[in-house]
Structure 1
Amino acid sequence: MKAAVVSEANAPWVLQDVSKPTAGPHQVLVKVHACGVCYTDALLAQGVLSLRPFPMVLGHEGVGEVVAVGEGVTTREVGDRVGLPIMQKACGRCEFCRERHAYSFVTANNCVAPVLTGVNVDGGQAEFVAVDAEGTVLLPDGLPYELAAPTVCAGYTVWAALRRAGANPGARVAVAGVGGVGHLGVQFAKAAGYHVIAMTHSPDKHALAKELGADDVVADGAGLREAGGADVLLHTAPSHASAIDAMQGLRPWAKIILMGISADDTFPLPALAVTSHGYEIIGSAHNGPEYLAEALEIVARGDVKPMIEVFPKEQVGEAYNRLLAGQLRFRAVVDYV
């Protein structure tokens, strides 16, 4: 089969022939129809995150069709349309797993031996991939594979963050950054019925943010304060500086939801403001497969539409290069059919 192989740190993504996997016990073999390219893929390809030796096949936004099932599989069958989120399988034996937590990034970071699709085992940037059946999610009927792919990670991330925030009906939700994750944050927040304030320093994105459903568009924390403030801040930007700045526009008892991985690892807080206004800082990353199922249903209904650029598998290297150059608007999806 063909797969996009990264031979070493900072090497190009090259489509080449590799051995086709088979479905082992409790696994399914998935014919990949599409796979999204995520910023986390770049961190892995560059060696910034190192969880397995090179060469590797990345991809944790894969979607496709089950074409074979292994021994012991009862929850999936041939013909099922599935997504392949990053958390595939926990070890089930360590102290953390004995507490039987839902699959999430918390499980990925606390299980002593997790299996992570496209991270420490081969992922969806290939024509076929074998994964544990429990590491798949059923796709809603009628949801195109190309739109399902970015929902499996980016859409999952922002919807799980909104659910984690637990905001009251009619709350004001600010989305810091209108990019690969933020453009989905604006749409999911609007679909949930919130008053949405998009925050972006890019004037050329103001009209787009309105088209995506933003009620207000501001450039910074001062603008957020003038617009009436926010009860929830979804931090989706690649730098923490914008979120720190946005805090000057938060309302009392606001919640700041941090998600994903930023280029700068520290999050310096204005301690007096956090204490005196009762702010909550909440880490959020996926939080459980039920939220992925909800996100997929919302996209299937048409209430949210990821903005994607689709590349044939022969151009997987170009998709990755456009991600690195910041030229995507907003998610790259590679077609493996």
Structure 2
Amino acid sequence: MQEMKAAVVPAVNAPWELRDVPLPSPGPHQVLVRIHACGLCYTDALMAQGVLSYRPFPMVLGHEGVGEVVAVGDGVTARKVGDRVGLPITQKPCGRCEFCRERHPYSFVTANNCANPILTGVNVDGGQAEYVAADEEGTILLPDGIPYEYAAPTVCAGYTVWAALRRAAPKPDARVAILGIGGVGHLGVQFAKAAGYHVTAVTHSPDKHDLARELGADQVVSNGDELKAAGGADVMLHTSPHHETAVDALKGIRPWGKLVLMGISANDTFPLPALAMTSHSFQVIGSAHNSPEYLAEALNIVARGDVKPMIDVFPKEKVDEAYNRLLHGQLRFRGVITY
């Protein structure tokens, strides 16, 4: 039996272990991808800690894997050996449930509404390994020139924030605020600026003010009052897991403005000020990847150099160190493991 190296999470809250595991083979309509890089996401931490539970331990996580197709199974038509691909979280819906009968595009909405989806790095093994076998439709072609290390965080974090901006559909002269300058937010500033909007970064961390300006923010504020004084925002992208900061920042949203939620937190309570929401006709929008064309757009924007993910790169032998740095907020801003 052929083997490969994979980062295995053996039990809840256990250290990640680099182990020898069986090498997968591609089944019908599947491709075998040689992983070159895989990003770390906070969702991985929630699963490793047992906060989110989709299958028993041990497991191999990773829904930001990117690499090269090295073999194809029977019936594959959309991919060929040598293709450079990414592996986003939604690999394949069941195709039979009520939701699937409506023929929605693959997205994280599919992941949460299909009766029996296949989710890379969630309910099947993911990209924290040297190889992954996945349905051909659960891959996306990478544009020429994008480094694997930049493509990996774009497959989830970049996809998340770009899809949220597209879902909000700001007018051409809109003012866009990015709440939280972390693993997702630092990309949000760059994507919003690349799209031509006036960008305000909202962060409580004074040490991130200069960085936010370097990333392209036209101005930086610390809270909702300062945002209002600086001219407000027509669209605010909430990228942080700390929801209380978003409630405060509503003070700075302009009439008919939109608050777009994408931050995931173990604490899912989000209290909204009803009077302000009603009297200013605010909209609150949930955003979860939305549609695969937005991932293709995000990858192309990164490939042409308009957005540059800030990453810490680790060899596979240091995967547990990278995971611990994620847990303790010591990454600036995305961790990427190379295989």
Coarse TM-score class (shorter-chain normalised): over 0.9
| Residue 189 (structure 2) aligns with | 186
Cα offset, 1:152, TM superposition: 0.1
Matches of 2:55 and 2:265, distance apart in 1:
21
Asked if residue 55 in structure 1 is aligned to residue 58 in structure 2, the reply is yes
SS of residue in 1 equivalent to 2:98: coil
Cα offset, 1:260, TM superposition: 3.8
| Residue 284 (structure 2) aligns with | 281
Matches of 2:61 and 2:54, distance apart in 1:
12
Which of 54, 71, 75 aligns to 1:72? It is 75
Matches of 1:263 and 1:257, distance apart in 2:
18
TM-superposition CA deviations, 1:83-140 (whole Å, max 9, x none): 0000000000011100000111111111100000000000000000000000000000
The letter of the residue matching 1:86 is I
Cα offset, 1:172, TM superposition: 0.4
Asked if residue 43 in structure 1 is aligned to residue 46 in structure 2, the reply is yes
Q: TM-score, normalised by structure 1?
A: 0.99
SS of residue in 1 equivalent to 2:227: helix
Q: TM-score, normalised by structure 2?
A: 0.99
| Residue 270 (structure 2) aligns with | 267
| Residue-pair matches, total | 336
Asked if residue 330 in structure 1 is aligned to residue 333 in structure 2, the reply is yes
SS of residue in 2 equivalent to 1:18: strand
Given that 2:176 and 2:197 are in contact with CA atoms closer than 8 Å, whether structure 1 keeps it comes out as yes
Cα offset, 1:240, TM superposition: 0.3
Given that 1:319 and 1:332 are in contact with CA atoms closer than 8 Å, whether structure 2 keeps it comes out as yes
Residues 173 and 284 from structure 1, CA distance in 2 versus in 1: closer, same or farther, beyond 3 angstroms? same
| Residue 5 (structure 1) aligns with | 8
Please show how residues 1-337 of structure 1 align to structure 2 within 5 Å: 1-336=4-339
Indicate the larger mover: 100-109 or 293-302: 100-109
Given that 2:234 and 2:257 are in contact with CA atoms closer than 8 Å, whether structure 1 keeps it comes out as yes
SS of residue in 2 equivalent to 1:196: strand
Give structure 1 regions of 4+ aligned residues with deviation exceeding 2 angstroms: none
Matches of 2:266 and 2:58, distance apart in 1:
24
Given that 1:260 and 1:285 are in contact with CA atoms closer than 8 Å, whether structure 2 keeps it comes out as no
Q: Percent of aligned pairs with the same residue?
A: 78
Q: Structure 1: which 5+ runs fail to align?
A: none
